[in-house]
Amino acid sequence: MNDTTELPRFFAIGIGAGPANLSLAALLQHRTEENIALFDKSSDSSWHSGLLHPGVRMQTSWMKDLVSLVDPTHELSFLNYLVTESRLFALINSQFDVIPRREYMRYLSWAASKINDIHYNTPIDEVNFVENEGFYAYSNGSPVACSEHLVMGVGTRPSVPAGLATMPQDRAFIADDLASHLPDMSADPSAPVAVIGGGQTGVEAVLRLLGAGFTNIKWLGRRQWFQTIDDSPAANDIYRPAHQQFLQGLTRSTRKRLVEEAAPTGDALTPGALRVLYQANYDRMLEYGDFPVKLLPGRDVTEGQADGDELVLQCTTAERLEEHRVRYAIIAVGRQDAPMPFSVELRDRLDVDEDGDIVVDEDYSVRWKGMNGHRIYVLNRARYSHGIADANLTLLPVRAAVVINSMLGGEIFAVRDDLGPVQWD
């Protein structure tokens, strides 16, 4: 082990400086004297920057920012950001149902600039634990910090199924890379292009292609229709602390079943995006005589391979196999959890359930052997214990408040949700 005697010591280390850990750091430094350091491999606070296409909107209310749900007077609220940046009236008068994603990314950058000890360009490749000392974080093989507690907020990364991974990368790529490929693709806007994946990233990629003048777009989705989010008041009651507390009293199998049933409330398309696509597609039909976007639901794209200048996509449908030949394929089939950089020794100490998943308690801490007061918290990894809201931005400050209360062993933030029309149990 490298010399660690001169390492900076923190109350907590956060791996990742995305919205989850930014929320935690913002609340911790505002209400306590404890310090936290965040480490991120990115060069700045950009968040899904490859998906910032023109017109893309958020899926959550601007009130659900980094802090306001538990500390509405916090200086890093979205409302204060708008006032500080002199954009409040312009945004209000634009009458957005939900704010542009680019606005949210600017808000994150603004907030990050006011949070102490964020270290970009510092990928953490290993975290280990030393008895009677705490956690040590290593970047490129060298120790950079140590702490009492550890918070894992490493997020997700795009998923590419094995059957699609062997196509040439200059013609088949993830949706995050679409913007960088558009200049070359635009040399022939009539070339057939497939967008694989019926989720929000898929519709945004289709809209970007349509806006760039492409006239032969195939949108393939596995579900039997391009499903929109259930944004009803009753569905939104799932995104409340009261529902998370209800889930804690259930068995794991019951929680998993209920979370999967709730998928249409979050793992689907925003109605506004789909409406914009249908209307733009209709407008182009009036111009070209045909729809430039063909929607192809019920297609599970299982394999893709190159055949000269074409990509051949193999699909299964309800009753047959189907083949589509295109010039380009944009892969938007979802995201998977990024690996957490635990050392082998530390990983072996973690408790896991019958499915091999780490056990996450009500306070988002991980059960592990020999903790002796040192806690590990995981963010965005508690879907089947805390509900579908754990994987999105809806309850960021609520989760951060729960973690802070647990770290400090008291109610630093009050998390109350007692008044509501739904009785869960």
8 Å CB contact between 207 and 233: no
| 111-153 confidence digits (pLDDT tens) | 999 999 999 999 999 999 999 899 999 999 999 999 999 999 9
CB atoms within 10 A of CB 373: 8
8 Å CB contact between 1 and 138: no
Q: How confident is the model at residue 24 (pLDDT cuts 50, 70, 90)?
A: very high
**From CA 198, how far away is CA 269, in angstroms rounded?**
8
8 Å CB contact between 334 and 340: no
Q: How confident is the model at residue 302 (pLDDT cuts 50, 70, 90)?
A: very high
Give the mean model confidence (pLDDT) for residues 283-302. Answer: 96
Give the mean model confidence (pLDDT) for residues 231-250. Answer: 91
| 318-347 confidence digits (pLDDT tens) | 889 999 999 999 999 988 889 999 999 999
9-155+338-408 and 160-228+268-335: same fold?
yes
8 Å CB contact between 25 and 153: no
| Percent of the chain topping pLDDT 70 | 97
| Percent of the chain topping pLDDT 90 | 75
pTM for the predicted model, two decimal places: 0.91
Q: Is the pLDDT of residue 384 over 70?
A: yes
Give the mean model confidence (pLDDT) for residues 184-212. Answer: 95
Give the mean model confidence (pLDDT) for residues 218-223. Answer: 96
- The answer for residues whose C-beta is within 8 angstroms of residue 44's C-beta and 6 or more apart is 109, 120
Q: What is the pLDDT of residue 3?
A: 54
Burial of 371 (0-12, 13-18, 19+ CB in 10 A): middle
Q: How confident is the model at residue 57 (pLDDT cuts 50, 70, 90)?
A: confident
CATH number at 9-155+338-408: 3.50.50.60
* Three-class DSSP category at 129: strand
Give the mean model confidence (pLDDT) for residues 207-214. Answer: 95
Q: Is the pLDDT of residue 265 over 60?
A: yes
Q: How confident is the model at residue 357 (pLDDT cuts 50, 70, 90)?
A: confident
Q: Which residue from 356, 354, 209 is spatially nearest to 280, judged by alpha carbons?
A: 209
Please state which CATH class domain 160-228+268-335 belongs to. Answer: alpha beta
State the chain's mean pLDDT as an integer: 92
Residue 264, both tokens:
């249409």
Q: How would you classify residue 150: left for phi > 0, otherwise alpha for psi between -120 and 50, otherwise beta? A: beta
Give the mean model confidence (pLDDT) for residues 213-235. Answer: 93
Q: What is the pLDDT of residue 1?
A: 46
Q: Is the pLDDT of residue 109 over 80?
A: yes
Domain spans of the chain, in order of start: 9-155+338-408, 160-228+268-335
